[in-house]
């Protein structure tokens, strides 16, 4: 079996690696010159989201499929960290804060925590007092409800290291890594092709570019790329990972000090024409939010944007589109943390030994206008 994987981000390299591990001949196409890196901050000219991600690994699974994916992803991050000295998984709990008076969010968070607990996730709700007692570095004033997810963390030095480590492992398994090559995908009825070459299967894992990559096949993917942002500050922070839902900001410890993010711009952007620098409003809001919760004057050293992908119902698109043509995209800002498991699932679906989660079926919007939906923030409760 010969399979082409289009896109060398966290999802694509994982799928390519797992396919090769099952004995498949795999070629990976990545238009960037490099697959991953070992940098703490994204390289300026790299557009792929896996290099620009905040690298927060904090699953918020609300159903069984999600819980399974989250647990499997964390297992694989830990497995890789034990085998590649360049890649460290730094375990940290994640604290989600909801402000007083935000009753809808309180109810949503309680519902999510109940659902996650039912699926075996170690998460529980607390009040503000309990939070400051456990995490004295956090100011939880004005907080009505908090949830602490125990099994979380982040990757060090940065998320690009996961891509580099998996790409190197894929290389060892014989995957042809075609970097600096833009893939053009077509499907003429007899099967999928990349740059006119016929493959038994083609997996499109091209992140925010997936809709564009698939357009020549006639598939109209219900997917919208949108900008999200992150910054790094040299203020030293060593507490838990925090998501402040009122400020719309999350932050975590970082090898340089602290990383803060979100800065969602909830509108479709052009994947080949977006602003890569962080916006002033995002930087100001993130710096304020960090100061409010930690007292730190977290001046921004570097702020950047990148692409996340939205679908009409907030769930990913993972599965077969046309005979032999597969997609894995639409992660709503949670694609990095799930990549080890979604890439693995994609490989299993191509091999025919795994069913994709039913809620992820890429044809579930058939008959609907594909562009007719609003971009919803991935971090929103």
Chain contacts with ligand FAD (rule: CB under 6 A) = 6-12, 29-32, 47-50, 52-56, 182-183, 205-209, 213, 228-230, 261, 306-308, 329, 331, 333-337, 339
Residue whose CB is less far from ligand FAD, 50 or 245: 50
User: Closest approach of Cβ 293 to ligand FAD, in Å?
Assistant: 18
Neighbouring CB atoms inside 10 A of 118's CB total: 12
Six token digits for residue 198: 């016929």
**Which residues share a beta bridge with 277?**
304
Pick 23 or 180: Cβ nearer ligand FAD: 180
Compute the distance between CA of residue 205 and CA of residue 309 in angstroms, rounded to an integer: 12
Nearer to ligand FAD by C-beta: 113 or 337?
337
Q: Treating both helix axes as pointing N-terminal to C-terminal, what angle do 160-172 and 335-351 enclose, rounded to 10 degrees?
A: 30
Q: CB of residue 169 vs ligand FAD: minimum separation in angstroms?
A: 16
Distance of closest approach, residue 179 Cβ to ligand FAD, in angstroms = 9
* Identity of the residue, 128 or 328, whose beta carbon is nearer to ligand FAD in the bound complex: 328
Q: How far is the CB of 101 from ligand FAD (least distance, A)?
A: 28
Give the span between the Cα atoms of 318 and 363, in whole angstroms.
Answer: 9
- Please identify, using beta-carbon distances, which residue of 42 and 324 lies nearer to ligand FAD: 42
- Count how many Cα atoms sit within 13 Å of the Cα of residue 131 in the half-sphere of its side chain: 30
Residue among 143 and 337 whose Cβ is closer to ligand FAD: 337
Q: How far is the CB of 257 from ligand FAD (least distance, A)?
A: 17
Tokens 């290389």 belong to 171
Q: What are phi and psi of 283, to 5 degrees?
A: -60, -45
- Comparing CB distances to ligand FAD, the nearer of 128 and 318 is 318
CA geometry: angle 256, 262, 263, nearest 5 deg: 110
Q: Do the strands 201-204 and 2-6 form a parallel or antiparallel pair, or are they unpaired?
A: parallel
CB 260 within 8 A of CB 233: yes
The distance of closest approach from Cβ of residue 299 to ligand FAD in the complex, given in angstroms and rounded to an integer, is: 19
CB of 31 to ligand FAD, least distance (A): 4
Say how far apart CA 100 and CA 257 lie, in whole Å. Answer: 29
We find the least distance from the C-beta atom of residue 377 to ligand FAD, in angstroms, to be 12
Nearest to 212 by CA among 221, 203, 200: 221
DSSP string, 34-85: -S----SS--TT---HHHHS--EE-----SHHHHHHHHHHHHHHHHHHTT-T
Nearer to ligand FAD, 128 or 226 (CB): 226
């Amino acid at each position: 079996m010969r399979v082409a994987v289009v896109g060398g981000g966290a999802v694509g390299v994982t799928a390519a690696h797992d396919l090769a591990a099952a004995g498949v001949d795999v070629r990976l196409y990545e238009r960037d010159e490099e697959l991953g890196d070992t940098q703490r901050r994204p390289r300026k000219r790299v557009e792929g989201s896996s290099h620009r991600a905040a690298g927060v690994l904090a699953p918020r699974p609300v159903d069984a499929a999600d819980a399974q994916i989250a647990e499997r992803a964390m297992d694989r991050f830990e497995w890789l960290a034990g085998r590649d000295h360049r890649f460290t998984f730094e375990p940290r709990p994640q604290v989600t804060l909801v402000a007083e008076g935000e009753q809808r969010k309180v109810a949503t968070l309680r519902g999510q925590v109940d659902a996650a607990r039912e699926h075996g996730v170690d998460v529980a709700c607390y009040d503000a007092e309990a939070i400051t007692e456990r995490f004295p570095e956090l100011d939880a004033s004005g907080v009505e409800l908090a949830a602490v997810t125990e099994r979380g963390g982040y990757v060090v030095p940065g998320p690009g290291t996961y891509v580099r480590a998996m790409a190197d492992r894929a290389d060892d398994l014989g995957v042809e890594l075609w970097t600096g090559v833009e893939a053009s995908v077509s499907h003429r009825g007899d099967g999928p092709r990349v740059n006119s070459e016929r493959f038994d299967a083609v997996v499109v894992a091209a992140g925010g570019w997936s809709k564009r990559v698939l357009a020549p096949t006639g598939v109209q993917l219900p997917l919208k790329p949108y900008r999200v942002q992150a910054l790094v500050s040299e203020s030293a922070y060593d507490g838990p990972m925090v998501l402040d839902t009122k400020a719309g900001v999350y932050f975590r410890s970082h090898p340089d000090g602290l990383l803060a993010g979100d800065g969602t711009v909830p509108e479709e952007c052009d994947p080949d024409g977006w602003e890569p620098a962080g916006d002033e409003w995002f930087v100001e809001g993130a710096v304020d939010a960090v100061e409010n919760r930690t007292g730190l004057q977290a001046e921004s050293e570097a702020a950047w944007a990148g692409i996340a992908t939205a679908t009409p119902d907030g769930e990913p698109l993972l599965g077969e589109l046309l005979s032999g043509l597969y997609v894995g995209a639409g992660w709503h800002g949670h694609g990095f943390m799930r990549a080890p498991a979604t890439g693995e699932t994609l490989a299993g679906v191509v091999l025919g030994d795994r069913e994709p989660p039913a809620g992820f079926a890429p044809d579930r919007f058939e008959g609907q206008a594909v562009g007719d939906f609003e971009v919803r923030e991935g971090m929103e409760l």
